[in-house]
Amino acid sequence: MKPKIKSVPGPQTTKLIAIDEGYVSPSYTRSYPLVAHKAKGMWIDDPDGNRFLDFTAGIAVCSTGHCHPKVVKAIRDQAGKLIHMSGTDFYYEPQIMLAGRLANLTYGDNKVYFGNSGAEAVEAAFKLARWHSKRKLNIAFLSSFHGRTMGALSLTASKTVQRLRYNPLIPGVHHVPYAYCYRCPYNLSYPSCGIECVRWIEERLFKTIVPPEEVAAIFVEPIQGEGGYIVPPLEFHRELHKLAEKYGILYVADEVQSGMGRTGKMFAIYHFGMYPDIIILAKGIASGMPLGAIIADSEIMDWPPGAHASTFGGNPVSCAAAIATIDLLESELIINAEIQGSYLKYSLQDMQNDFECIGDVRGKGLMVGVELVKDRETKEKAIELRDKIIQKAFEKGLLLLGCGENTIRFCPPLIVSRKEIGICLDIFEEVLKNSN
């Protein structure tokens, strides 16, 4: 199968977008005029008969591809038995069974809390950290994205438009630089830097304005998502975790985008050889059904009945989809993400030799970013070029998304084959040739 493009946007697409503009909140962001009509596997059709190769997976959500038959069957079977009963007040099998599956994905005697989305899961982790630690301060990272609800937004430091007119947010969150080695905020080089981005927290932040004894948690993305698909060096999380342990600070890994097999491991933090106190999940957990969750040791998840809940969290149909998703991840898709992701990254690195505008290629598994620059020596960000390339790729039938200011993210469904990666690379290379 190949992309099939008649004209974009076509008449039906144009008509639907016009209706959308009349009724839907203008706060949404759309990179290009795609109206998804139906989808299967790696492919999306619009109402005008155009067919697109999807390397966005609905923002890293459709981990098993679009409408995987095993997931569809699980949804249909569950919808015919029980659609809703609210797991906050009642018991039902899909939520119980999924909690067991998730609790056993990591080490320890774990418990699971369910919500509807990534932002809700972050809110839950934010509240749990405060409850358990009895502390009020938190540390997060510049360029991080944790969500748009008020608590999650307080942790987020991605774009000012996300905060404009919403201040004051929840107080006590202190943002520090992430381990972005390609653009080191301290103008140092790895590994001679000695992981300055962690040392600075203890030697400057904790000695000047933030008493470590009052910090409840460090919220960190194992690999930064919206910030630019930034992969920190191996020692970053290890040293940061040691720092957290030294002062009794909870280590909270936001795996909303990087988790559920996307990086070639169930959780991206496992690439760094350590285990957080709280893991936050959403996106790829249920193949497109709304679901978020946090996993924490029973000693940490010690809040009492009524301390936090969600009417729709752990919906039976979403839980059934998540169980089917985990089955597929464990049986075939995590290993596919590792294999195909390596091929994708190394192919893009080869392409880097031919295009001066490719400043950096980075990633784990099928979470790969290409950072575009105007000049490799100065590393000046090619923001307009990035946006132009995404638009031109769409016009040729390839769906891509940006992240950070000047990075293109490649986050296809984990079912992607080498052939489909080849189609993606051919289109991407053609667009690069015609965009300089």
* Phi and psi at residue 39, to the nearest 5°: -150, 150
Mean pLDDT within 379-392 = 97
Is 254 in the same domain as 308?
yes
- Name the band, by pLDDT with cuts 50, 70 and 90, for residue 1: confident
Mean pLDDT within 229-258 = 98
Cα–Cα distance measured from residue 263 to residue 144, given in angstroms and rounded to the nearest whole number: 18
Cα–Cα distance measured from residue 398 to residue 112, given in angstroms and rounded to the nearest whole number: 37
Cα–Cα distance measured from residue 221 to residue 13, given in angstroms and rounded to the nearest whole number: 36
Query: 43-45 and 38-40: which strand pairing?
Result: antiparallel
When divided into structural domains, the chain yields a total of: 2
Domain coverage including residue 298: 69-328
pLDDT of residue 108: 86
Q: Is pLDDT at 332 greater than 70 in this prediction?
A: yes
Cβ contact 363:341 at 8 Å:
yes
Is 429 in the same domain as 338?
yes
20, 24, 29, 30: CA torsion to nearest 10: -10
Mean pLDDT within 3-20 = 96
Query: 250-254 and 215-220: which strand pairing?
Result: parallel
- Greatest alpha-carbon span in the chain: 62
In a domain, 124, yes or no: yes
In a domain, 273, yes or no: yes
How crowded is residue 148: how many other Cβ atoms within 10 Å of its Cβ? 17
Nearest Cα residue to 405 out of 222, 234, 224: 224
Q: Is pLDDT at 436 greater than 70 in this prediction?
A: no
168, 172, 176, 178: CA torsion to nearest 10: -90
pLDDT of residue 316: 98
Asked which of 298, 328, 358 is the last residue of a domain, the reply is: 328
Is 375 in the same domain as 276?
no
Structure tokens at 396: 């040729």
Q: Is pLDDT at 420 greater than 80 in this prediction?
A: yes
pLDDT of residue 431: 97
Q: Is pLDDT at 207 greater than 80 in this prediction?
A: yes
Is 283 in the same domain as 356?
no
* Phi and psi at residue 38, to the nearest 5°: -155, 160
Is 241 in the same domain as 293?
yes
How would you classify residue 284: left for phi > 0, otherwise alpha for psi between -120 and 50, otherwise beta?
alpha
Cα–Cα distance measured from residue 236 to residue 241, given in angstroms and rounded to the nearest whole number: 8
Is 246 in the same domain as 184?
yes
In a domain, 18, yes or no: yes
In a domain, 3, yes or no: no
In a domain, 1, yes or no: no
Is 73 in the same domain as 63?
no
How crowded is residue 84: how many other Cβ atoms within 10 Å of its Cβ? 12
In a domain, 116, yes or no: yes
Alpha-carbon Rg for the chain in angstroms: 21
Q: Is the Cα torsion angle 282, 364, 387, 406 positive or negative in sign?
A: positive
Is 172 in the same domain as 298?
yes
Query: 215-220 and 173-176: which strand pairing?
Result: unpaired
Mean pLDDT within 211-229 = 98
Is 298 in the same domain as 425?
no
pLDDT of residue 50: 98
310-326: b or e for each residue (b if 16 or more CB lie within 10 Å)? Answer: bebbbbbbbbbbbbbbb
In a domain, 4, yes or no: no
Cα–Cα distance measured from residue 276 to residue 392, given in angstroms and rounded to the nearest whole number: 40
Mean pLDDT within 316-339 = 98
Is 321 in the same domain as 399?
no
Asked which of 307, 328, 349 is the last residue of a domain, the reply is: 328
Residue-wise pLDDT tens digits, 144-196: 999 999 999 999 999 999 999 999 999 999 999 999 999 999 999 999 999 99
Provide the CA 27 distance to its chain's centre, in angstroms: 20
Is 189 in the same domain as 314?
yes
Task: Give percent above pLDDT 90 in the chain.
Answer: 98
Asked which of 302, 328, 354 is the last residue of a domain, the reply is: 328
In a domain, 293, yes or no: yes
- Name the band, by pLDDT with cuts 50, 70 and 90, for residue 84: very high
pLDDT of residue 80: 98
Provide the CA 267 distance to its chain's centre, in angstroms: 11
Cis check for the bond before 9: say yes or no (omega within 30 of 0). Answer: yes
401, 402, 408, 409: CA torsion to nearest 10: -60
pTM of the predicted structure, to 2 decimals? 0.97
pLDDT of residue 435: 84
Is 103 in the same domain as 24?
no
Q: Is pLDDT at 219 greater than 80 in this prediction?
A: yes
CATH of the domain at 121: 3.40.640.10
Residue 254, exposed/middle/buried by CB under 10 A (0-12, 13-18, 19+)?
buried
CATH of the domain at 410: 3.90.1150.10
Mean pLDDT within 243-260 = 98
pLDDT of residue 81: 98
Residue-wise pLDDT tens digits, 118-137: 999 999 999 999 999 999 99
Cα–Cα distance measured from residue 136 to residue 121, given in angstroms and rounded to the nearest whole number: 19
Cα–Cα distance measured from residue 150 to residue 169, given in angstroms and rounded to the nearest whole number: 6
